[in-house]
Structures are given as structure tokens and as C-alpha cells.
Homo-oligomer: A and B are copies of this chain.
Amino acid sequence: MRIGVLTGGGDCPGLNAVIRAIVRKGVQDHGHDFIGFKDGWRGPLHGSAVPLGIPAVRGILPRGGTILGSSRTNPFKEPDGVRRITENLAEHGVDALIAIGGEDTLGVAARIGGEYGVRCVGVPKTIDNDLSATDYTFGFDTAVNIATEAIDRLHTTAESHMRVLVVEVMGRHAGWIALHSGLAGGANVILVPEVRFDVDEVCGWVTSRFRASYAPIVVVAEGAMPQDGDLVLKNAATPLDSFGHVRLSGVGEWLAKEIESRTGKEARTTVLGHVQRGGTPSAFDRWLATRFGLHAISAVHEGDFGAMVALRGADIVRVPLADATARLKTVPLALYEEAKTFFG
């Protein structure tokens, strides 16, 4: 059996661990043969592939990124996309495909499997931990550890100068990284996309922290928004319009400025950015990614196409690919309220 593997979407620590586990188990236990498609769905679309044997996966377990490259290419948006893919798969003699990716990448796998009969198994990947079908995804724990370590460091500099430090972390639609790293780092305010924040309330928490003779750390997800969203647009429009990704990570800067002007306290911003998604995976992410890989190849071997592997408690289970990407897993309000014990 010849199996194709591809990784799509933003990179994430643990992708290489998944690839390694798939190939090690597939070759050793089942005698399968592997081919790696380059750059997500762009690979099968353009017939761009590399051999993927045991030597290719040696030593990649601890390495971040993906040896297969990645892209956000969607074959359904390319002329003749699906036909080109099925032809290229046939030409390479590929019997089944393992797609490792997030909502978009797996959405393509679900549809190309369901509508066009391409035999796919999915492995979920989202650094934001926002897929509802699995308790956790790999990469998330690494990102949370990196953000937490940064918050640890920022506490000391905040205290020394009695300044507000605003830390902007990843999370456009879900606040998991902000919530976990904020709690783990002992932040005094945590702002998530799920709950619009009131700047005056934030300033209240900041002020109360200063009154206790400590300096506040505010952790804000990049997708968090103030209650009056227009305010951001009005302020942000001019200074941040020209650079795409600055605008996306603008809430931290904006908030620091607001806090400074409303409380009279100095405020500084740190935007953690890409360091959160690069580098060696944490032990948990290596473990989860490895187990996802082992179970994905088992699903292929057993012909359970259309399935995605998922974590439930400490077990790996299979769920339908189609369901998997149906609903965004956001931070429940009750959990956010729980965290408020530590605000201010």
C-alpha cells in the first residue's frame, strides 16, 4: 500500500513527530510505502512530492516546523483542482492520503473524500486548540509554555519599574492560549476573543493591582475586542493600516495606550508572535503528535477512511472528519469566569 502524507496551514510544533510516527509504524509494522507531498494541498495539486522512508524521518522528532513544508492552498479554489489531485495521486500510485492540518486542510480532506472518493484519514492540527472534536491538539502546550515563560520574565520587569505590561498572544477566534498562559503565568487580567472587554473595567483591575503595591500583567489574545469595537477601528485605522500583520496584532498596542492614558501609569506591550509556534515541541506535544501518527496509520491500515484521530482524556479515538471541523471550540464563559478569581 502506498500512502501519501501532507501538512497544511500554519506550522505547529509536533508536525514532524506525527510524520515520523506514521512512517515508522507504517513501514515497520505494515510494510507500507510512503510519499510526502510538499506544501499542503499544493503538493498533490502540482504533483510535487518527495520520498518518505525511515531515513527521511530520522532525528525529526524534536524539531519544530514540518519537513514537508506547508501552505494554505485550497484545491477547490483552483481551476480543475480536484481533477488534478486525483490524477496526480493516481500517477504516484497513492492508495490513501493522511492529511495533517486544521479546519481548512481537513475540510478539503472531508470533501475530497466524501464527494470524490479520495481515501483520506485526518490528523487535527491547530495551535489555538480550537477544534471541538479533540480535547487538545499538539502545538498548543508548546505555545502555552512559551507564553508562560515570557509572562514569568515580564513580571520582574513590571515590578522593577511599576509598569503595566500588556502581552499579546496568539488566538484570533479562541482564547485558549491567553487563558492557559495567563492563568499559568499569574496574569492580573486575561482578555479573550469570546468575551468583549470593557476598557474601564480593565483599568480598574490594573489600578487595584497597583494599590496592592504590585505591577499588573495583562494577557490579551490577538482576537480580543473591546466592547465598543468601532473605537479600535477608529484609532487603529491610521497608524496600523499599512502593514497587514501589524493590524492583526494591534490590540495589545492599542490597549496599552488606552491604559496609559486612562490610569496615568506607564504601559508597555510585548507581542509574542511567531516564537509561539516555532521550535522544539514540549514533551506533551511530542507524545500527543506521536500517538496521533500511530493511530492515523492504524486507521489507514484498517481502511477507516473519512476518520480523524482525536484525544479524549488520555485515549486516542476516531471521529468522522466531517464532524471534526464543524464547530469551533471556544472558551466557555464559565471557565473564563473561573479565571477571574485572579484578576486585579
* Complex contacts, A25 vs chain B, CB 8 Å: 341
Kindly list chain B residues whose C-beta atoms are within 8 Å of the C-beta of A148.
283, 286
Q: Tell me, rounded to whole Å, the shortest Cβ–Cβ distance linking A25 to chain B.
A: 5
Most chain B C-beta atoms within 10 Å of own C-beta, residue among A144, A184, A214: A184
Q: What is the predominant secondary structure among interface residues of chain A facing chain B? A: helix
Within 8 A of B (CB), among A226-283: 238-243, 245-246, 253, 256-257, 268-275, 277-280, 282-283
Contact assessment for B257 and A253 in the assembled complex, using a CB-CB cutoff below 8 Å: no
Smallest CB–CB gap between A154 and chain B, Å?
A: 5
Chain B residues within 8 Å of A341, by CB:
21, 24-25, 28-29, 294
**Shortest CB distance A70–B (Å):** 5
Please, how many angstroms separate the alpha-carbon atoms of A278 and B154 in the complex?
5
Docked-complex contact A184 and B152, CB < 8 angstroms: no
Nearest-CB residue, chain B, relative to A298: B338
Kindly identify which residue among B58, B66, B161, B257 contacts A243, using a CB–CB cutoff of 8 Å.
B257
Instruction: Please pick, from B21, B62, B274, B338, the residue contacting A154 in the complex, using a CB distance under 8 A.
Output: B274
Q: Are A135 and B313 in contact (CB under 8 A)?
A: yes
Find out whether the CB atom of A338 lies under 8 angstroms from the CB atom of B294: yes
Among A146, A246, A274, max chain B CB count under 10 A is at: A274
CB <8 Å contact, A245 and B268: yes
Cβ of A320 < 8 Å from any Cβ of B? no
Tell whether A181 is near chain B: CB-to-CB under 8 Å: yes
Interface size of A as a range: 35 or more
Query: Chain B nearest CB: distance from A338 CB in Å?
Result: 6
- A318 / chain B contacts, CB cutoff of 8 Å: none
Q: Among A155, A256, A283, A294, which residue has the most Cβ atoms of chain B within 10 A? A: A283
| A114 cross-chain contacts in B, Cβ below 8 A | none
Bound CA–CA A342/B257 (angstroms): 39
The listed residue (B269, B279, B314, B338) touching A136 by CB distance below 8 A is: B314
Q: How far is the CA of A282 from the CA of B180 in the complex (A)?
A: 11
Minimum CB distance partner of A26 in chain B: B341
Residues in chain B near residue A135, CB distance under 8 A? 313-314
Cβ contacts A to B, 25 pairs, < 8 Å: A25-B341, A58-B214, A61-B184, A65-B156, A65-B157, A69-B159, A69-B161, A69-B162, A70-B161, A136-B314, A141-B283, A145-B283, A149-B279, A152-B280, A183-B287, A183-B291, A184-B284, A184-B287, A185-B286, A238-B239, A239-B239, A246-B253, A268-B274, A270-B271, A271-B271
Which 8 pairs between the two chains have the least Cβ-Cβ distance?
A: A153-B279, A65-B156, A64-B156, A153-B278, A11-B160, A157-B278, A65-B160, A184-B286
Given A11-B156, A245-B268: 5 more A-B contacts, CB < 8 Å: A70-B161, A145-B284, A153-B274, A157-B274, A180-B283
